[in-house]
Structure 1
Amino acid sequence: MGRVRSTYIKRAARELIKRYPDKFSIDFKQNCLALDELAILKSKFLRNRIAGYLSTLLKQKKEV
């Protein structure tokens, strides 16, 4: 089973995909760099969690 993510991370990731669909990909490192440009995140931990969830969401969409 996978890890459970908080609602805040899921909501932020979905909103970012909706606003900037062409900025993100399935690559975690590229998502981290894009988040540095777009979002005001004070913690590296939160940035990495959102970037990881963005990668997961885009991988799921790609499979469908």
Structure 2
Amino acid sequence: MGRIKTTLIKRMGNKLYFLHKEKFSKDFDSNKKVIPDVAEVYSKKLRNILAGYITRLVTKESS
């Protein structure tokens, strides 16, 4: 089973995804590089969690 994402991750992830939908893809590594350009994320862990959550949003929406 996966880990449950906190409200902060869901709120930031949804906001970033719907504001910058064209910049994100199904690739985790490319999403990881896009996040610092569109938001101020200070920790590597938070950036990685957001990238994973946004990758799941893209995958879920495209299927």
Classify the TM-score, shorter chain: over 0.9
Which residue number in structure 1 is paired with residue 41 of structure 2?
41
Which residue number in structure 1 is paired with residue 26 of structure 2?
26
Shift of 1:52: 0.3
TM-score for the superposition, normalised by structure 2: 0.93
Structure 1, unaligned runs of 5 or more: none
Superposed CA RMSD in Å reads: 0.8
Which residue number in structure 2 is paired with residue 9 of structure 1?
9
Structure 2, unaligned runs of 5 or more: none
TM-score for the superposition, normalised by structure 1: 0.92
In 1, the alpha carbon distance for the partners of 2:18 and 2:57 equals 12
As a proportion of its length, which structure holds more helix?
2
The amino acid of 1:41's aligned partner reads: V
The total of aligned residue pairs comes to 63
Shift of 1:2: 2.0
Structure 2 residue matching 1:40: 3-state secondary structure: coil
State the 4+ residue runs in structure 1 displaced beyond 4 angstroms: none
Determine what percentage of the aligned residue pairs are the same residue: 38
